[in-house]
Structure 1
Amino acid sequence: MLIEIIIATFLVSLVSFVGILITSKHLQKIIHYLISFAAASLISVVFFDLIPESLEILPSEEFLNSLAYIVGGIVLFFLIETFLHWHHCGKERIHKKPTGSLLLGGDFFHNFFDGLLIAGSFLIGNQTGMLVTFSVLIHEIPHEVGNFAVLVHSGFKRKKALLLNFYSALSAVLGGILGYFLLDSISYIIPYLILVSAGGLLYIALSDIVPSMHEHIKEGHTGLAETLIFVLTVIFFKIFLTLVH
């Protein structure tokens, strides 16, 4: 059973290399559209996936308290970003880098929770495990494309962005292994950790990525295409995540 979990989570991690399909030449032409896609995908994952997933586990009386954990995640990622700005103060182009670093941190936990989910599904049965793995794999494809775009926009070279995205995605394997051995012991804290992660990803989307869209509009672009991509991406994720859950 452990071998199946490791294989499944590793396959999900490999999805992070989807950015390799986008050539450097085309990336420069579509980066602003991918940034709009990334912002919409992060916001959609937070509101249509992470928060509902945690609220399904928590008792109903914990609903109001759950908001505090989301706010806590926002504050935590704000403090981390502030520290990164201080730590790298004065370095060339470093004003872009914290966004990518924060995204990797938030996505590390997101993928870790996916690993826990896959482990739990395999503990129910192989068929359930394979179905859940396929579902996670499919919904990670557009999400990882967005992550790759944000990392490149944050100043990382294409090759480094791919590798860092993959290293972050490998936390799914860690989540799968720990889930196999410790799921019963740590299950009570998982929904709270998911909410903190949701708050962090929401902070990244609204404070860093959406402003990047606005900067592009200020440079003389109408922003109509970016806005349309944003709206359509949210609609797509709402329909898609409803179908796979």
Structure 2
Amino acid sequence: MSTALWYALAAAAANLMGGLVITAHSAAGRATQRFLIAFGAGFMIATALVGMIPHAMEAGESAVVAVLLGYLLVHFTQHVLVAHFHFGEETHSEHMVSRWVGISALLGLLLHTFFDGVAIASGFHVGSWLGMLVFIAILLHKVPEGVTVASIMLASGNSARRAIGAVAMLGVSTVAGVVLTEHVRILASTGLALSAGVTLYVGASNLVPEVQKKRSWSSALAVFLGAGTFYLTYLLVRGYLEP
């Protein structure tokens, strides 16, 4: 089993953790969720801009188009195909008029989680240091991601069992992203650029708006803390793992 696949399985487990947080109704879990959303936003944006896009550009200027395509694909699946979607716990039950709303949100997230796996595999193709940094960035939003799909499923009238099943599907999608990247040529060649666009979208367009909904110094500063932690980790990890 490849190194990237082991990390994808760990990321999938974090999805399940987020689903269990919501179905267990833990107040402490919700506080952790808010911090992870803010910290993860800063870490993911820094990972995309400093770690992933510069290396994706080594394949040529066409990589910029792939970055943009990855960004727009997530927007299309989460905010065009899906009527109501945001990261974090779903508390607006008035939007949840049928079980299909939860299922459509799940379908929208599956592309995103697939490219989480593509990002992990593509990062390790560049080097262990980048694979590790991409994994950390993805891991940080996996718990809020599990929270998102589980809470939408519950708010739209689905059972707790279906909610956990939906979260498990996200994990399977991440693992599939790793496996296919190792066997599908187009993903192996453009996967880093596509997943950089996806990572940038999740950090800047999914997580940051959630941070901005509630005025909080701790959440606002956590974004800077996430970006700063990325850069320090980038220097340390690259120094130890890059040959």
What TM-score comes out, normalization by structure 1 length?
Answer: 0.66
Instruction: Name the structure 1 match of 2:59.
Output: 58
Instruction: Name the structure 2 match of 1:197.
Output: 195
CA distance in 1 between counterparts of 2:41 and 2:235 reads: 19
CA contact (8 A) 1:116 1:175 kept: no
Do structure 1's residue 212 and structure 2's residue 214 form an aligned pair?
Answer: no
CA contact (8 A) 1:38 1:147 kept: no
CA contact (8 A) 2:82 2:105 kept: no
Matches within 5 A, 1:161-176: 163-171=168-176, 173-175=178-180
CA distance in 2 between counterparts of 1:139 and 1:71 reads: 18
**Deviations, residues 9-55 of structure 1 (Å, cap 9, x unaligned):** 43222212246499652212322112112222321221122212212
- Over 3 Å counting, the alpha-carbon distance change for 1:165 and 1:238 in structure 2 is farther
Count residues in correspondence.
212
CA distance in 1 between counterparts of 2:69 and 2:84 reads: 22
What value does the CA root-mean-square deviation take over the aligned residues? 3.9
**Deviations, residues 74-100 of structure 1 (Å, cap 9, x unaligned):** 333222234322599x64498898777
Instruction: Name the structure 2 match of 1:127.
Output: none
Unaligned runs of 5+ in 1: 1-5, 122-130, 218-222
Instruction: Name the structure 2 match of 1:244.
Output: 237
Matches within 5 A, 1:97-136: 102-115=108-121, 118=124, 132=128, 136=131
What TM-score comes out, normalization by structure 2 length?
Answer: 0.67
CA contact (8 A) 1:148 1:161 kept: no
**Deviations, residues 73-130 of structure 1 (Å, cap 9, x unaligned):** 3333222234322599x64498898777555423422422433565x58xxxxxxxxx
User: Equivalent residue of 1:85, what SS?
Assistant: coil
CA contact (8 A) 2:181 2:191 kept: no
Instruction: Name the structure 1 match of 2:65.
Output: 68
CA contact (8 A) 1:38 1:149 kept: no
- Over 3 Å counting, the alpha-carbon distance change for 1:45 and 1:66 in structure 2 is same
Instruction: Name the structure 2 match of 1:125.
Output: none
CA distance in 1 between counterparts of 2:206 and 2:115 reads: 19
CA contact (8 A) 2:182 2:188 kept: no
| CA shift for structure 1 position 231 | 0.5
Q: Aligned partner of 2:9: which letter?
A: L
Q: Aligned partner of 2:140: which letter?
A: V
Which structure has the larger Rg over C-alpha atoms? 1
Q: Aligned partner of 1:11: which letter?
A: W
Unaligned runs of 5+ in 2: 86-94, 153-159, 239-243
Q: Aligned partner of 1:208: which letter?
A: N
CA contact (8 A) 1:51 1:198 kept: yes
CA distance in 1 between counterparts of 2:107 and 2:52 reads: 20
- Over 3 Å counting, the alpha-carbon distance change for 1:161 and 1:197 in structure 2 is same
Q: Aligned partner of 2:174: which letter?
A: A
CA contact (8 A) 1:33 1:226 kept: yes
Instruction: Name the structure 1 match of 2:142.
Output: 147
Instruction: Name the structure 1 match of 2:3.
Output: 8
CA contact (8 A) 1:10 1:172 kept: no
Instruction: Name the structure 1 match of 2:34.
Output: 32
Matches within 5 A, 1:37-48: 37-48=39-50
CA distance in 2 between counterparts of 1:27 and 1:236 reads: 22
CA distance in 2 between counterparts of 1:194 and 1:224 reads: 34
CA contact (8 A) 1:12 1:136 kept: no
